[in-house]
Structure 1
Amino acid sequence: MTLSSLHGRLVKYYLSIKENRWHWIFQIVLRILLAYAFIVAGMVKIMGERFASGLSVIHPMGSYLEALHHTGYYYTFIGYAQVTAGVLLLIPSTVLMGALLYLPIIVNIWILSFAVRFVGSYTTSPLMVLANLYILVWHYDKLRYILPFNRYSKEVSFAKPEKYSKKFPIWFCLGVISTMTSVVCFSLFGHEVMPKNSLEACKAQFTYPETQEAGFEFCECIHTIGNPLDDCLKRFDQIKN
């Protein structure tokens, strides 16, 4: 199969998605949810409040957010960027601009959440990245003009279908459910130990007596002493083994 024939098939499949009402509704729901998340989070920063203020300042994520809160107008700038991205997502004519602005911010949040194993966004941030990518793919007819591997001279957007298909995309729906389930399962069971958001919640994950000594010391290391996550994980492995 040549690249041109593969591209033709992908475009044909893309057009079938654009003509499906269920996909159209799905991308609208994603836009609203993503916009809501960023507008709320952004307003907290604009108002000068520390995000996740209930999190201890010696917690890996809490110490980061505390330092970020003291960066002055940089902290406020992030808030305005989030609110701007959220508002642009809600306006039909600026959706693509909003999705492009949204992507680097949410990817940064995703990597940060995984790096410090922050429960608050460990599950939601990768799902938000996938949702944002879906919106970008939905607007591929416009996005393709800034991609480096193709050139087009036709009109920017495909014409809006006169009538949407009402065929329910069962395989796509199953794929979405499977992806969400995989992300949630990984967030719950992907790591042997998580710092959690409080000392009590951290200790509660160690239900077996043989892991409690190492686990409780790990929790104290995080929430009482305030050592870096990597140091606490290394100590946990030493005691456990």
Structure 2
Amino acid sequence: MSLLNRLAAFYVEAKGNKWFRYFAIFCRIGVAMAFIPSGMVKVMGERFTALPSNHPLGHYFDALHLTGYYYTFIGAGQLITAALLLIPRTAVLGALMAFPIMLNISVLVYATRFEGTRIVTLILLANAYLLCWYFDRLRYILPFKTADLGLPAYKTSSNKFPFAFFGLVIAAIAAVIIGNAYLYDIRPGNSAEECTNGCPGNSDPEACQQFCDCIYNQGKPLDTCLKEYENAPRQKK
């Protein structure tokens, strides 16, 4: 049996298992709930975050807030996506709309070293699971041959708890949380106080303080402050 056929057999088995279905519902609600607050704020015309203007991501949100009805348009799109996810018959369309939005947000928060990278990554993974869950409905638009897999009709008949799958889910969550803790040697934090509070544990506290001052007091771009941090003379231990 080829790998593709094995994956198809596993997919059919998963679609007939109530625990996989419950997890899909959980992911739908979770992704939708992530869009509703941010969408409401934008539709109401309020600033999305309390991040200071000198924060790398704060710069972005300030500029976005000043785009007028484009800002409202983004919020409306997020609310529509959330509504589609919450309605079972339109959930597949909601998952399709949500994925590029979440992918864009994920790249943005990693590029700016935002502290919320963990939760954003988990939401993106939940969205990816939904796309896999709706593979039987999406396979016809994929740019490779999947329609001839001959997926048989599946029935919701299995109550067996998939320990291996949920073990992988827990491992993925742990990998995201732990991996993000070691991904960067320095982050700007969400405020000047949060940034400087992390300096005592930094390999070079003085360079860290200068980095925080560069971001929050001088208002320089993140890349500039990172270069200054990397080129700062290190303290001898």
**Which of structure 1's runs of 4+ aligned residues deviate more than 3 A?**
151-155, 157-160
**Correspondent of 1:68 among 37, 49, 64:** 64
Amino acid at match of 1:70: L
CA distance in 2, matches of 1:61, 1:40: 18
Amino acid at match of 2:182: F
CA offsets, 1:107-139, max 9 Å, x none?
A: 0000000000111x3111111111001001001
The verdict on how the C-alpha distance between 1:209 and 1:181 changes in structure 2, with shifts beyond 3 A counting, is: closer
Partners of 1:141 and 1:158 within 8 A in 2: no
TM-score by length of 2: 0.93
Amino acid at match of 2:191: S
CA distance in 2, matches of 1:148, 1:208: 49
CA distance in 1, matches of 2:12, 2:153: 10
The aligned residue for residue 90 of structure 1 is 86
CA distance in 2, matches of 1:153, 1:186: 39
Partners of 2:5 and 2:149 within 8 A in 1: no
**Correspondent of 1:235 among 206, 212, 228:** 228
Amino acid at match of 1:28: I
CA distance in 2, matches of 1:51, 1:206: 28
The aligned residue for residue 114 of structure 2 is 118
**Correspondent of 2:122 among 116, 122, 127:** 127
Partners of 1:211 and 1:240 within 8 A in 2: no
Offset, 1:159: 4.0
The aligned residue for residue 136 of structure 1 is 131
Offset, 1:19: 0.9
DSSP-derived class of the 2:199 partner? coil
**Correspondent of 1:178 among 167, 171, 188:** 171
CA offsets, 1:138-180, max 9 Å, x none?
A: 010000010121263899x96451x431111111111111111
1:107 aligns with 2:103: yes
Offset, 1:189: 2.1
DSSP-derived class of the 2:45 partner? coil
1:164 aligns with 2:157: yes
The aligned residue for residue 198 of structure 1 is 191
CA offsets, 1:65-100, max 9 Å, x none?
A: 000000011111110111111110111111110000
Q: More displaced, 142-151 or 87-96?
A: 142-151
CA distance in 2, matches of 1:23, 1:240: 53
1:43 aligns with 2:64: no
The aligned residue for residue 22 of structure 2 is 25
Where do 5+ consecutive residues of structure 2 fail to align? none
The verdict on how the C-alpha distance between 1:88 and 1:158 changes in structure 2, with shifts beyond 3 A counting, is: farther
Amino acid at match of 1:40: P
Aligned length: 234
CA distance in 2, matches of 1:209, 1:98: 42
TM-score by length of 1: 0.92
DSSP-derived class of the 2:220 partner? coil
Amino acid at match of 1:123: R
Where do 5+ consecutive residues of structure 1 fail to align? none
The verdict on how the C-alpha distance between 1:209 and 1:173 changes in structure 2, with shifts beyond 3 A counting, is: closer
1:14 aligns with 2:7: no
